[in-house]
Amino acid sequence: MKSPHLDSAPTHVTGLSEYIDDRPFLAGELHVGIVFSEVAHARLLAVDSSEALKVPGVVAVYTANDFDHLMWGTIFQDQPLLAKDEIQYVGEAICLVAAENKEALALGRKKIRIKTEVLPPVLSIREARDRKMFIGSTRTIARGDAEGAMKWARHRISGTLEIQGADHFYLESHAAQAIPLDNGAIEVHSSAQHPTEVQHVVAHGLGMQSKDVICIVKRMGGGFGGKESQSAPIAAYAALVARRLNRPARVILNKDDDMIMTGKRNPFLIDYEVGFDDQGMIQALNVQHFSDGGAYADLSTSIMERAMLHSDNAYFIPNAKIQGTVCKTHMHPHTAFRGFGGPKGVAMIERAMEQIADYLKIDAYDVRRRNCYEGDRNVTPYGQTVENNVLPELFDRLEKSSRYRERRQEIQAHNQKVLSGRFKGQDSGLLRGMSMTAVKFGISFTTRFLNQGNALVIVYRDGSCAISTGATEMGQGVNTRIRMLVQEILGLPENQVRVMPTATDKNANTSPTAASSGTDLNGSAAVIAAKKIRERLAVVARFCENLPRDRWASKTAGLGTEKEAQIQFPEPHSDAKVDENRDYIFKDGKVTSRKNPSWSISFSELTNEAYLNRVSLSDYGHYRIEGLDFNKLTGQGRAFMYYTNGTCVTEVSVDPLTGEVKVLRTDLLMDLGRPINEGLDLGQVTGAYIQGLGWVTTENLFYSKDGKLLSHSPSTYKIPSVQDIPRIFNVELLPNLGNTTNVRGTKAVGEPPLLLCLSAWTAIGDAVRQGNGKPYPNIKIPATSERVLRALKPEEFAAWEGGNA
């Protein structure tokens, strides 16, 4: 069974895919706009809406006092839906304007007068750290004696790594439509990764019960983590207007407002020290992570936890002390982003690998390979065994397939010619660099109760099937994968199975589609439900096989000439385990007897017989990941169900005159177990790498000194274009049949490949190191052209900035 494309691909390419703002306007529907703060920190003294309400077409203005419950938050309820007494960041929502049309809305927003008393803001991690402005407490993961081992280590290096934020830049900005229903309930259509969170925040904010709020997510035009938590208040704004005025309402942010208002990937400041021996074997690691959480907690404490859990990445560290602290600033509350905190921890240790290699004058690949998890060196600093460990194979295979050793010699010879002026021809003045990095990404939510999913599978009399789960489709293909899983169980062709829009009245108490676990959780639940239906259908098939066709219910039930026989079912199985039925083969829309292959029945005919015999054709599946016991207080335990692994070699060129970087070649090898849909997985791998490439090279957020985001549009914020992708891009999946912990032996793909973009960043460092002959450079993320040029020529920039040039 092959289905290489995304289910929505035909409607995407023809422009027929419906997003929130494509939904037709309903009678009386209102446009809702948000008036937000232009200052980072202030006392909110008054909101004057009198002039706005005089604008023809402006219907109402709402402030914090109009919510029944003002505070919300995914982990800590510390954030107001609308600012009330104090403003904490530029872009914080202050009031809502509801209008009959867009023109009245735009003018009404301009007429709102906000009176404030401006207060000094804290806008950097360092300042917040010095002032001890923190969110939550400092967390620690430790093993062995890091301080003692550091003292007796033969060699030590240390460093500070600065990582800026990045914008999600989803193509569909935040959007929501709220429709009041005639029974007092409200229906919310939201571009959200977490419909249950939207349902909860809307219900809580409006003083309603969850049963009275239905959140529906058909699809998103991208999410990348930015719609995991921050969609909820947007939906609450539309719902407040709809509830108060009993009219449909929608909120649609434009790209500028979306970028100004919403949080980004958390900026990090990481101090680290590494002790190692003459061969580069790490003996001790001491790390302190500080992140910018922004004005409110959002998901920053969990993001920090994942950064800590990935500070080892693919490498065994016998003595480690890893600490993490979230700082509170007057910036927009930062939030989930593809990879969560994982890229920060991995960036730190991968840079340390390059520094160790430079210090010892050996190849960085050898340092990585020697430290790689292998054999009995397979337990993480938090005490989890790395099972089904294919990391050594990934390193060894990619070293050979990428011609790493030969290319390393070629690059060194090339750079020597460039530096001596002896190289002539195309790209004669460009330096080159290359690096291989790895990823070992833990798959599961580290908050244990989120590791559950549910699914409703319905089979109709005609043999078609509908699936409802808590997973949300944002272009990553989760609906396609879940559909294919159920297809396999029931043996149906693609055109007989449909995955329905996600809705909280069909799947309750769902987890966000995040942590790369959408298919793992929801697909597993759908498989459980489908297997229960298949088990019952197999019993019906046995009944039909042993009964003359003229006595089947379809021949007698309508006439009432014969009472259907009572079909005896075995004891029902629990959700945790549904046995395979060995007597019948479900394939290609038919059900065939194994013992008597000449007997078969079409799936649609079988489902009709089941219905006429009063056999249930729908079922509910619930799945939870067992065996997770990570203790957040001690920093020890099994945090993840399994790891998705990969390695990547990236070669870059660097122009020493401008600092411009081009990615010449990328060779990427991923372990994804047994893919459900290899085409989709390859798309996720390449897309994740390129998105990460933007994060580490070009996506530079510029803020004014008073905390205003200046780069809030496509013209000032540079995401990767076709010119930025590798000139040669080789992607291969490692065959791995040893992963048996997950549904169908597959492994999650959403986030892990993004972290392999760090090979481009470390390759830039390698080129700079060879170009100026100095120790491995300290280049921030993103490594923009200016920063690369500064790293290449630090003395010239120092002299220029000092006024001596």
Q: Which tens digits make up the pLDDT trace of 32-78?
A: 999 999 999 999 999 999 999 999 999 999 999 999 999 999 999 99
Buried-state track 358-368, b at ≥16 Cβ within 10 A, e below 16:
bbbeeebbebb
Question: Three-state SS across 92-127?
Answer: CEEEEEEECCHHHHHHHHHHCEEEEEECCCCCCHHH
Directed axis angle between helix 478-490 and helix 524-545, to 10°?
A: 20
Mean pLDDT of the chain: 95
Cα separations in angstroms, 776 against 154, 161, 286, 288, 505: 20, 13, 20, 21, 56
pLDDT band, residue 6 (cuts 50/70/90): confident
**Residue 406 exposed, middle or buried by CB count within 10 Å (0-12, 13-18, 19+):** exposed
Q: Of the candidates 252, 284, 309, which is a domain's last residue?
A: 252
**Residue 593 exposed, middle or buried by CB count within 10 Å (0-12, 13-18, 19+):** middle
**619 and 673 together in one domain:** no
How many angstroms separate the CA atoms of 90 and 330, rounded?
A: 8
Residue 717 is assigned to a structural domain of this protein: yes
3-state secondary structure of 542: helix
646-673 pLDDT, tens digit per residue, is 999 999 999 999 999 999 999 999 999 9
**441 and 456 together in one domain:** no
In degrees, rounded to 5, the angle at the alpha carbon of residue 668 between the alpha carbons of residues 405 and 3 is 150
Q: Which two tokens stand for residue 625?
A: 């990941």
Residue 142 is assigned to a structural domain of this protein: no
Residue 133 is assigned to a structural domain of this protein: no
**181 and 196 together in one domain:** yes
3-state secondary structure of 442: strand
CATH of the domain at 207: 3.90.1170.50
**18 and 91 together in one domain:** yes
Residue 384 DSSP one-character state: -
Number of folded domains that form the chain:
3
Q: What is the pLDDT of residue 804?
A: 47
How many angstroms separate the CA atoms of 356 and 362, rounded?
A: 8
pTM of the model: 0.96
Instruction: Kindly list the catalytic residues.
Output: 751
pLDDT band, residue 799 (cuts 50/70/90): confident
Q: Of the candidates 607, 624, 641, which is a domain's last residue?
A: 624
25, 70 contact by CB (below 8 A) = no
Q: What is the pLDDT of residue 801?
A: 75
DSSP string across 221-254? S--TTTTSSTHHHHHHHHHHHHHHHTS-EEEE--
**520 and 586 together in one domain:** yes
Nearest to 690 by CA among 673, 710, 668, 674: 668
296, 259 contact by CB (below 8 A) = no
Q: Which helix (H) or strand (E) holds 285?
A: strand 282-294
Stretch 294-303: mean pLDDT: 98
* pLDDT over 60 (residue 113): yes
**551 and 695 together in one domain:** no
Residue 339 DSSP one-character state: T
Question: Percentage of the chain surpassing pLDDT 70?
Answer: 95
3-state secondary structure of 44: strand
pLDDT band, residue 557 (cuts 50/70/90): confident
Residue 263 has φ and ψ, to the nearest 5°, of -75, 165
DSSP string across 462-530? TS-EEEEES---SSS-HHHHHHHHHHHHHT--GGGEEEPPEETTTS-SPPPS-TT-HIIIIIHHHHHHH
Which range marks the domain in which residue 562 is found? Answer: 452-624
**553 and 647 together in one domain:** no
**779 and 647 together in one domain:** yes
How many angstroms separate the CA atoms of 233 and 82, rounded?
A: 9
Q: What is the pLDDT of residue 567?
A: 74
Residue 258 is assigned to a structural domain of this protein: no
Lowest-pLDDT range of 60-74, 692-706, 742-756, 790-804: 790-804
How many angstroms separate the CA atoms of 243 and 659, rounded?
A: 55
**613 and 642 together in one domain:** no
How many angstroms separate the CA atoms of 711 and 723, rounded?
A: 21
426-451 pLDDT, tens digit per residue, is 557 899 999 999 999 999 999 999 99
Residue 767 is assigned to a structural domain of this protein: yes
**494 and 610 together in one domain:** yes
Q: What is the pLDDT of residue 561?
A: 58
How many angstroms separate the CA atoms of 441 and 335, rounded?
A: 19
pLDDT band, residue 579 (cuts 50/70/90): very low
CATH of the domain at 594: 3.30.365.10
**613 and 636 together in one domain:** no
Residue 186 is assigned to a structural domain of this protein: yes
Q: Which residues contact 20 (CB under 8 A, 6 or more apart)?
A: 172, 175, 176, 177, 189, 190, 191, 250, 252
* pLDDT over 80 (residue 16): yes
* pLDDT over 70 (residue 511): yes
How many angstroms separate the CA atoms of 669 and 647, rounded?
A: 5
How many angstroms separate the CA atoms of 51 and 33, rounded?
A: 16
Residue 144 is assigned to a structural domain of this protein: no
Stretch 336-357: mean pLDDT: 98
Q: Of the candidates 201, 223, 252, which is a domain's last residue?
A: 252
How many angstroms separate the CA atoms of 639 and 635, rounded?
A: 9
* pLDDT over 60 (residue 796): yes
Residue 590 is assigned to a structural domain of this protein: yes
Q: Which helix (H) or strand (E) holds 350?
A: helix 342-360
How many angstroms separate the CA atoms of 533 and 611, rounded?
A: 12
In angstroms and rounded to an integer, the radius of gyration of the C-alpha atoms of the chain is 29
Q: What is the pLDDT of residue 424?
A: 64
**669 and 593 together in one domain:** no
Amino acid at 117: E
Higher local confidence (pLDDT), 424 or 796: 796
Stretch 470-492: mean pLDDT: 97
Stretch 453-460: mean pLDDT: 98
